Amino acid sequence: MKLEIAETKQSESAARLTLDGVVNIHTSVQLRQRIKPMLNDKSREIHVDLSGVRFIDSAGLATLVEGLQWSRASENRRFVLSGLNENVRDIFELAKLDTIFEIEDGKTA
């Protein structure tokens, strides 16, 4: 079980994390360690591209919820998810998280 995370700056105020692999109890710590510092820099928007995620468990969901909460606690920051495949989208819908996250259909933001 492996998770690759690539970070790119889209602009002075927006950054993107592109995930590839599995987001679970073993890899969610790695994701948390990448999200937290992004909230301390100048990024007003954080986009998380999940198009490469094949599976996400409750620990992965909790990490994304933490990121959303941290962004909301910081002045007017956007925390946007994109690229959810059918399996991952089903998990978000079952957990009713599709109603609290800003989810974009494509990879671009």
Q: Which residue has the tokens 């360690």?
A: 33
Share of the chain above pLDDT 70, in %: 95
- Average pLDDT over the chain, rounded to an integer: 91
Model-level pTM? 0.91
Count of other CB atoms within 10 angstroms of residue 101: 18
Would you state the pLDDT for residue 109?
A: 41
pLDDT at 103 over 80: yes
Mean of the pLDDT values across residues 22-49? Answer: 91
Mean pLDDT of 77-98: 95
Q: What is the pLDDT of residue 11?
A: 84
Q: Which CATH architecture has domain 3-104?
A: 2-Layer Sandwich (3.30)
Query: What pLDDT is stored for residue 106 in this prediction?
Result: 59
Q: Tens digits of per-residue pLDDT, 44-82?
A: 899 999 999 999 999 999 999 999 999 998 777 899 999
Domain ranges of the chain: 3-104
Residue 13 scores a pLDDT above 50: yes
Per-residue tokens: 101 = 């996250």
Q: Examine the pLDDT at 107 and tell me if it is beyond 60.
A: no
